[in-house]
A and B are shown apart, each in its own frame.
Chain A
Amino acid sequence: MKYIDEYRDINVINALATEIQKVVKQPWNIMEICGGQTHSIMKYNLSEFLPRQINLIHGPGCPVCVTSLEKIDKALALSQMKDVILVSFGDILRVPGSESDLLLEKSRGADVRMVYSPLDAVRIALDNPHKKVVFFAIGFETTAPVNALSIVRAKKLHLNNYFILSSQVLVPPAIKMILELENSSIQGFLAPGHVCAITGYNEYVALAEKFKVPFVITGFEPADILKGLLTLVLRLEEGRFDVTNEYKRVVSKNGNSDALEMVNDVFELTGQEWRGIGIIPLSGLKVSERYSEFDAEKHFNLDGLNTRESGLCIAGKILQGTCKPTDCKAFGKECIPEHPLGAPMVSFEGACSAYYRYQ
């Protein structure tokens, strides 16, 4: 397929692999932040091309995986309310809450619908004026602009039956948290290409300076990832701690200013709980005061929920890069994709699911 095939070309891949072998001298612990990159690494089994000195550690960049149990339980509670249509993206519907999951509730009769874009949720609200439509907005900086757009559009249409349950998270605060962990072993990062396409990479420059680690902004195709790794290994071997953009066809330094403006108008920063990790300060986006009539957590009474996490799951350690999925006692036993205990086993981008599926 045009424009993609060249990034999956076997000769390009082999040349990059040879080059990485040539330049690597010492062992390096490298984290790819984004779940899309984890998935690509597994799907193309890129570790086959890497020298043993390179240890890839999967980061917390799967939006489904890090959505807090509390928010999932809130979504479940909303799905049980009369006249509520709960709408979300596909994968989140399978994530286990304390007692149930959204697909199970759908099978029991709750009106739970899957869409590909929040704008479709606005359409559902328009078509069902007597129902309250709640869009469960999960995701990183990549999905925030279109979530914001859905609220702007709902406002323009004077809809009073469209709401957002926001569980939107930001990458840089999570990187900071990982680097501040006492037992953190991460020496360099592949930074998330699609997130940087929206935000630019000024924040990563600050992180690189503060923590003395290199970042390489990297795409998602096999050649992108190997090119990112090659550059990162070069920086590590040189001892250069800066940000390099290896995804220039998509990412610019200052990002997409229109998208950022809309996000900043509709949402505001908040402390956000990441599943398995805990609260990371200023790492989330909630609906801003200006648009509070669209905030599901303000409109509905969602107090008094009892959240309870499975004791076996070590998703938090996996998401922080201190454990691999295979370190988990439940992996492949009590926890399988048909019956996930934790979110990383649910999503295609989740590290546990990727390990289970492809290794």
Chain B
Amino acid sequence: MKISCPVPLNKYDTVTLAHGGGGKLTDQLIHDLFIKELDNIWLNKTHDGAVLEMSGKVAFSTDSFVVNPLFFPGGNIGDLAVNGTVNDLVCCGAVPQYLSLGLIIEEGLRMDDLRKIILTIKEAARKANVKIVTGDTKVVEKGKGDKIFINTSGVGIIPEGIVISPERCTDGDVVIITGSIADHGIAILSSREGISFQSTIKSDTAPLNGIAEILFHITKDVHVLRDPTRGGVASALNEISRSSGYGILLDEKMIPVSDEVKGACEIMGFDPLYIANEGKLLIILPEVHAGNVLGEIRKHPLGKDAAVIGRVEGKSPGVKIKTLVGSTRIVDMISGEQLPRIC
């Protein structure tokens, strides 16, 4: 006797505990949504893991994604989850290839929303040229999670001759940013309860392997790559400065910030240097390459506003900035989150 689930997947409006129970509903969810959409030879085997052929130096990175709201101007948690790990691999100097996808879903998540997120993941993986080769789904009781949490891990091969590491930041290097900063953080804030404001600011979430490919085509003599996500450019550069022991001097007037983001920051009392980006790359490399690199990166749609924003100067760690008015001050790490000012 063949027993099949009387209620097909599309009859469920929301994810239930049973979808994570390992039974029929889990199986349906995996086949009718994940495998159907993310389709590739590794995932389709529904084996316990993916068996991959790789040779050379492998970079391996993991990242977990929690974001409120799940859908925001310019993207959703799905693109963040793919691009986040892709970009971490890029910052190791690797060509991202394979990703895992772990979902922790709170029961009650709308099935439509889950489908939207998976379709976004599919599209983000296509754009970044990576495959989702293995995955896992758990469903937790209502109140034990916040709609959906995603973890992605990824691997990629580091081509011969590329050595990227924060300790390599040294005298005579310049700091390049591939575009305007703070878009992601402000887009999220603009859609959050209690602070929401109307704007057309969109998250910059994007995979950076295209830009990295252009970069390494020009030179492999790149010292540090970093995607300035949480904590923004200021925190990323402070970490690099601390690892290398070298100081970094930024030039405020060279830092690209869109007018809308600037305006929002003025009103809320935020400093864009501390606000998250999800599709920008900090490149630290010897000054001799800066001209060529900028010229080529600016031809890429994600790099059209690329600029040299600072230089590495002297063996005393810390980040400073030459302000718009010509004075110099310290740019410290931030403690906690920036909170909107009062008046």
Contact = CB atoms under 8 A, between A and B. Distances in A.
Nearest to A4: B266
B326 A13 contact: yes
Contacts of B268: 116
B315 interface: no
B214 interface: no
Interface residues of B, number: 27
Contact of A45 (B195, B259, B327, B332): B327
A140 B328 contact: no
B343 A63 contact: yes
Contacts of A175: none
Interface of B is mostly: loop
Interface in A1-30: 1-2, 4, 8-10, 13-14
Interface residues of A, number: 46
Of listed B194, B195, B326, B343, residue having the most chain A CB within 10 A:
B343
Contact of B336 (A1, A36, A89, A94): A94
A8 B324 CA distance: 6
Given A1-B262, A45-B328, A359-B330, A338 B336 contact: yes
A142 B341 CA distance: 12
Nearest to A90: B339
Interface string A25-49: 0000000000010000011111011
Nearest to B271: A43
Interface string B250-290: 00000000010011001011010000000000000000000
Of listed A10, A90, A138, residue having the most chain B CB within 10 A:
A90
A146 B339 CA distance: 19
Given A10-B326, A13-B325, A194-B343, A337 B335 contact: yes
A132 to B, nearest CB: 18
Given A43-B329, A120-B194, A358-B330, A91 B323 contact: no
Contacts, number: 96
Given A115-B194, A116-B195, A348-B269, A143 B339 contact: no
Nearest to B257: A1
B274 to A, nearest CB: 11
Nearest to A340: B335
A297 interface: no
A348 B325 CA distance: 20
Interface of A: 1-2, 4, 8-10, 13-14, 36, 42-46, 48-49, 63-64, 89-94, 113-116, 120, 138-140, 142-143, 194, 222, 336-338, 347-349, 356-359
**Which 4 pairs between the two chains have the least Cβ-Cβ distance?**
A90-B339, A337-B335, A45-B327, A142-B343
